[in-house]
Amino acid sequence: MIGSWVGNLIYEGKAKRVYRVNDELLIMEFKDEVTAFDGARRENAPGKGRLAAAQTVFFMRLLSKYGIRNHLVDWDGDRKVLVRSLKMIPIEVIVRNYAYGSFLKRMPLIKPMTKFSRPLVEFHLKSDELHDPLITSDDIIEAGLVNNDQLSEMVDTALKVNTILSNFMMSKGLTLVDFKLEFGIDKLGNVVLADELSGDTMRVLINNKHLDKELFRKGASALELVKAYEEMNRLLGIP
Protein backbone atom coordinates (compact mmCIF):
# COMPACT_ATOMS: atom_id res chain seq x y z
CA MET A 1 0.00 0.00 0.00
CA ILE A 2 1.21 3.51 -0.84
CA GLY A 3 0.07 4.78 2.54
CA SER A 4 2.53 2.48 4.30
CA TRP A 5 5.53 3.59 2.23
CA VAL A 6 8.08 5.76 3.96
CA GLY A 7 9.16 8.99 2.33
CA ASN A 8 11.07 12.08 3.36
CA LEU A 9 9.22 15.38 3.11
CA ILE A 10 10.97 17.47 0.46
CA TYR A 11 8.37 20.13 -0.30
CA GLU A 12 5.21 21.61 1.16
CA GLY A 13 3.08 23.98 -0.85
CA LYS A 14 -0.34 25.51 -0.44
CA ALA A 15 -2.22 22.41 -1.62
CA LYS A 16 0.19 19.47 -1.37
CA ARG A 17 3.10 17.88 0.43
CA VAL A 18 5.67 15.94 -1.59
CA TYR A 19 7.71 13.06 -0.16
CA ARG A 20 10.66 11.32 -1.77
CA VAL A 21 10.40 7.53 -1.67
CA ASN A 22 13.58 6.86 -3.67
CA ASP A 23 15.40 8.17 -6.75
CA GLU A 24 12.52 7.10 -9.00
CA LEU A 25 9.36 7.79 -7.00
CA LEU A 26 7.62 10.55 -5.08
CA ILE A 27 4.38 10.70 -3.11
CA MET A 28 2.09 13.71 -3.55
CA GLU A 29 -0.18 14.14 -0.55
CA PHE A 30 -3.14 16.43 -1.16
CA LYS A 31 -3.95 18.61 1.82
CA ASP A 32 -7.37 19.23 3.35
CA GLU A 33 -6.80 22.95 2.98
CA VAL A 34 -7.74 25.64 0.51
CA THR A 35 -5.98 28.95 -0.08
CA ALA A 36 -6.48 31.97 -2.29
CA PHE A 37 -4.70 35.21 -3.12
CA ASP A 38 -1.20 33.76 -2.68
CA GLY A 39 -2.15 32.25 0.66
CA ALA A 40 -3.70 35.42 2.12
CA ARG A 41 -6.96 33.53 2.63
CA ARG A 42 -6.71 30.02 4.04
CA GLU A 43 -9.25 27.58 5.48
CA ASN A 44 -9.38 23.94 6.48
CA ALA A 45 -11.39 21.91 3.98
CA PRO A 46 -12.05 18.39 5.32
CA GLY A 47 -12.33 15.92 2.45
CA LYS A 48 -10.90 18.22 -0.21
CA GLY A 49 -7.57 16.38 -0.41
CA ARG A 50 -9.20 13.07 -1.31
CA LEU A 51 -11.50 14.73 -3.86
CA ALA A 52 -8.65 16.61 -5.58
CA ALA A 53 -6.47 13.48 -5.60
CA ALA A 54 -9.32 11.49 -7.17
CA GLN A 55 -9.74 14.15 -9.85
CA THR A 56 -6.04 14.17 -10.64
CA VAL A 57 -5.85 10.39 -10.91
CA PHE A 58 -9.00 10.23 -13.03
CA PHE A 59 -7.81 12.87 -15.50
CA MET A 60 -4.27 11.48 -15.73
CA ARG A 61 -5.63 8.00 -16.47
CA LEU A 62 -8.01 9.44 -19.06
CA LEU A 63 -5.16 11.28 -20.77
CA SER A 64 -2.99 8.14 -20.72
CA LYS A 65 -5.63 6.40 -22.83
CA TYR A 66 -4.97 9.03 -25.51
CA GLY A 67 -1.20 8.62 -25.35
CA ILE A 68 -0.47 11.64 -23.14
CA ARG A 69 2.69 10.79 -21.17
CA ASN A 70 2.32 11.69 -17.47
CA HIS A 71 3.92 10.93 -14.13
CA LEU A 72 1.10 8.94 -12.48
CA VAL A 73 2.04 5.55 -11.02
CA ASP A 74 -0.60 4.64 -8.42
CA TRP A 75 -3.07 5.96 -5.85
CA ASP A 76 -3.91 4.87 -2.32
CA GLY A 77 -7.61 5.72 -2.77
CA ASP A 78 -7.35 8.61 -0.36
CA ARG A 79 -5.04 11.65 -0.41
CA LYS A 80 -1.74 10.15 -1.58
CA VAL A 81 -0.69 9.69 -5.20
CA LEU A 82 2.48 7.86 -6.22
CA VAL A 83 4.28 9.56 -9.13
CA ARG A 84 7.53 9.34 -11.03
CA SER A 85 10.27 11.74 -10.03
CA LEU A 86 11.05 14.32 -12.72
CA LYS A 87 13.18 17.39 -13.19
CA MET A 88 10.40 19.94 -13.00
CA ILE A 89 10.25 22.83 -15.45
CA PRO A 90 9.48 26.10 -13.59
CA ILE A 91 6.78 27.13 -16.04
CA GLU A 92 3.01 27.11 -15.69
CA VAL A 93 1.29 26.49 -19.01
CA ILE A 94 -2.20 28.00 -19.12
CA VAL A 95 -4.75 27.01 -21.76
CA ARG A 96 -7.72 29.36 -22.09
CA ASN A 97 -10.95 28.60 -23.95
CA TYR A 98 -12.86 31.62 -22.67
CA ALA A 99 -11.93 35.15 -21.55
CA TYR A 100 -11.71 35.02 -17.78
CA GLY A 101 -9.49 35.77 -14.81
CA SER A 102 -6.15 37.48 -15.27
CA PHE A 103 -6.66 37.56 -19.06
CA LEU A 104 -9.34 40.23 -18.60
CA LYS A 105 -7.00 42.42 -16.58
CA ARG A 106 -4.49 42.66 -19.40
CA MET A 107 -7.06 42.64 -22.25
CA PRO A 108 -10.16 44.57 -21.12
CA LEU A 109 -11.33 45.01 -24.72
CA ILE A 110 -12.79 41.50 -24.68
CA LYS A 111 -15.97 40.81 -22.73
CA PRO A 112 -15.87 38.24 -19.89
CA MET A 113 -16.60 34.65 -20.95
CA THR A 114 -16.15 35.38 -24.64
CA LYS A 115 -15.19 32.13 -26.33
CA PHE A 116 -11.91 32.47 -28.18
CA SER A 117 -11.70 31.63 -31.89
CA ARG A 118 -9.07 29.07 -30.87
CA PRO A 119 -7.61 28.03 -27.51
CA LEU A 120 -4.94 30.41 -26.18
CA VAL A 121 -1.73 29.05 -24.67
CA GLU A 122 0.28 31.26 -22.35
CA PHE A 123 3.24 30.81 -20.03
CA HIS A 124 3.90 31.99 -16.49
CA LEU A 125 7.13 31.73 -14.55
CA LYS A 126 6.43 29.55 -11.52
CA SER A 127 7.37 31.91 -8.68
CA ASP A 128 5.21 32.76 -5.66
CA GLU A 129 7.54 35.65 -4.83
CA LEU A 130 6.94 37.25 -8.24
CA HIS A 131 3.25 36.18 -8.36
CA ASP A 132 3.79 33.89 -11.38
CA PRO A 133 4.41 36.60 -14.01
CA LEU A 134 3.39 36.18 -17.64
CA ILE A 135 6.40 35.35 -19.83
CA THR A 136 6.95 34.86 -23.56
CA SER A 137 8.34 31.91 -25.49
CA ASP A 138 11.43 34.00 -26.25
CA ASP A 139 11.89 34.63 -22.51
CA ILE A 140 11.79 30.89 -21.90
CA ILE A 141 14.35 30.05 -24.57
CA GLU A 142 16.72 32.87 -23.62
CA ALA A 143 16.61 31.83 -19.96
CA GLY A 144 17.43 28.24 -20.95
CA LEU A 145 14.41 26.81 -19.13
CA VAL A 146 13.75 24.42 -22.05
CA ASN A 147 14.86 24.18 -25.67
CA ASN A 148 12.72 24.92 -28.73
CA ASP A 149 11.71 21.30 -29.30
CA GLN A 150 10.70 20.83 -25.67
CA LEU A 151 8.67 24.05 -25.68
CA SER A 152 6.89 22.99 -28.87
CA GLU A 153 6.06 19.63 -27.30
CA MET A 154 4.69 21.34 -24.19
CA VAL A 155 2.40 23.50 -26.33
CA ASP A 156 1.28 20.57 -28.50
CA THR A 157 0.57 18.45 -25.43
CA ALA A 158 -1.33 21.26 -23.72
CA LEU A 159 -3.58 21.67 -26.76
CA LYS A 160 -4.19 17.91 -26.98
CA VAL A 161 -5.05 17.83 -23.27
CA ASN A 162 -7.46 20.69 -23.85
CA THR A 163 -9.24 18.86 -26.67
CA ILE A 164 -9.55 15.66 -24.63
CA LEU A 165 -10.76 17.33 -21.44
CA SER A 166 -13.05 19.84 -23.17
CA ASN A 167 -14.80 17.13 -25.17
CA PHE A 168 -15.12 14.85 -22.18
CA MET A 169 -16.55 17.58 -19.97
CA MET A 170 -18.89 18.74 -22.71
CA SER A 171 -20.26 15.20 -22.89
CA LYS A 172 -21.12 15.53 -19.20
CA GLY A 173 -22.74 18.95 -19.56
CA LEU A 174 -19.75 20.88 -18.20
CA THR A 175 -17.72 23.75 -19.68
CA LEU A 176 -13.93 23.84 -19.33
CA VAL A 177 -13.04 27.54 -19.12
CA ASP A 178 -9.29 27.25 -18.60
CA PHE A 179 -6.65 25.21 -16.78
CA LYS A 180 -3.02 25.10 -15.72
CA LEU A 181 -0.47 22.41 -16.56
CA GLU A 182 3.05 21.73 -15.34
CA PHE A 183 5.69 19.56 -16.97
CA GLY A 184 8.92 17.82 -16.07
CA ILE A 185 11.76 16.06 -17.86
CA ASP A 186 12.45 12.39 -17.19
CA LYS A 187 15.84 10.68 -17.26
CA LEU A 188 15.47 9.93 -20.98
CA GLY A 189 14.85 13.58 -21.77
CA ASN A 190 11.14 13.16 -22.41
CA VAL A 191 8.70 15.94 -21.62
CA VAL A 192 6.17 14.51 -19.14
CA LEU A 193 2.91 15.99 -17.84
CA ALA A 194 3.18 16.36 -14.06
CA ASP A 195 1.69 17.86 -10.90
CA GLU A 196 -2.11 17.80 -10.64
CA LEU A 197 -5.30 18.27 -12.62
CA SER A 198 -8.11 19.21 -10.27
CA GLY A 199 -10.57 21.90 -9.33
CA ASP A 200 -7.59 23.72 -7.86
CA THR A 201 -5.97 24.08 -11.29
CA MET A 202 -8.93 24.49 -13.66
CA ARG A 203 -12.16 26.40 -14.01
CA VAL A 204 -15.19 24.23 -14.73
CA LEU A 205 -18.77 25.50 -15.07
CA ILE A 206 -22.21 23.94 -15.07
CA ASN A 207 -25.03 26.35 -15.90
CA ASN A 208 -22.63 29.24 -15.13
CA LYS A 209 -21.92 27.81 -11.67
CA HIS A 210 -18.30 27.14 -10.71
CA LEU A 211 -17.29 23.66 -9.56
CA ASP A 212 -13.70 24.78 -8.89
CA LYS A 213 -11.58 26.93 -6.58
CA GLU A 214 -12.97 30.11 -8.14
CA LEU A 215 -15.87 29.65 -5.73
CA PHE A 216 -13.50 30.15 -2.81
CA ARG A 217 -11.83 33.13 -4.48
CA LYS A 218 -15.27 34.71 -4.84
CA GLY A 219 -16.03 34.31 -1.13
CA ALA A 220 -17.59 30.87 -0.70
CA SER A 221 -16.60 28.83 2.33
CA ALA A 222 -14.30 25.83 2.27
CA LEU A 223 -17.31 23.62 2.99
CA GLU A 224 -19.12 25.00 -0.06
CA LEU A 225 -16.02 24.32 -2.14
CA VAL A 226 -15.84 20.72 -0.97
CA LYS A 227 -19.50 20.26 -1.95
CA ALA A 228 -18.72 21.68 -5.41
CA TYR A 229 -15.84 19.21 -5.82
CA GLU A 230 -18.16 16.40 -4.78
CA GLU A 231 -20.64 17.54 -7.43
CA MET A 232 -17.94 17.69 -10.11
CA ASN A 233 -16.80 14.17 -9.24
CA ARG A 234 -20.36 12.87 -9.34
CA LEU A 235 -21.07 14.46 -12.72
CA LEU A 236 -17.82 13.19 -14.23
CA GLY A 237 -18.22 9.69 -12.78
CA ILE A 238 -15.11 9.92 -10.60
CA PRO A 239 -15.21 7.28 -7.84
Q: What is the mean pLDDT of the chain?
A: 95
| Mean pLDDT in residue range 77-85 | 97
By the 8 A CB rule, do 185 and 179 touch? no
* Residue count (the chain): 239
Dihedral sign of CA atoms 231, 233, 234, 239 in order: negative
Tell me if 27 sits within 8 A of 21, measured CB to CB.
yes
- Rounded to an integer, what distance in angstroms lies between the CA atom of residue 239 and that of residue 236? 9
Distance (Å, whole) CA 239 – CA 88: 29
Domains in the chain, CATH or no CATH each: 2-84 (3.30.200.20), 87-222 (3.30.470.20)
Q: Rounded to an integer, what distance in angstroms lies between the CA atom of residue 215 and that of residue 171?
A: 23
Coil vs helix vs strand at 215: helix
pLDDT at 92 over 60: yes
In the prediction, which pLDDT does 63 show? 98
pLDDT band of 56, cuts 50, 70, 90: very high
pLDDT digits (tens, 9 = 90+) for 152-199: 999 999 999 999 999 999 999 999 999 999 999 999 999 999 999 999
> Would you state the pLDDT for residue 6?
73
Query: Within 10 A of 25 (CB to CB), how many other CB atoms are there?
Result: 18
Provide the percentage of residues in the chain whose pLDDT is more than 70: 98
pLDDT, tens digit (0-9, with 9 covering 90-100), for 7-54: 899 999 999 999 999 999 999 999 999 998 877 789 999 999 999 999
| Angstrom distance (rounded) from CA 115 to CA 99 | 7
CB 238 within 8 A of CB 229: no
pLDDT level of residue 2 (50, 70, 90 thresholds): low
Q: Is residue 179 classed as helix, strand or coil in its secondary structure?
A: strand
Beta bridge partners of 92: 124
Confidence of residue 117 (pLDDT cuts 50, 70, 90): very high
Reported confidence tier of residue 148, pLDDT bands at 50, 70, 90: very high
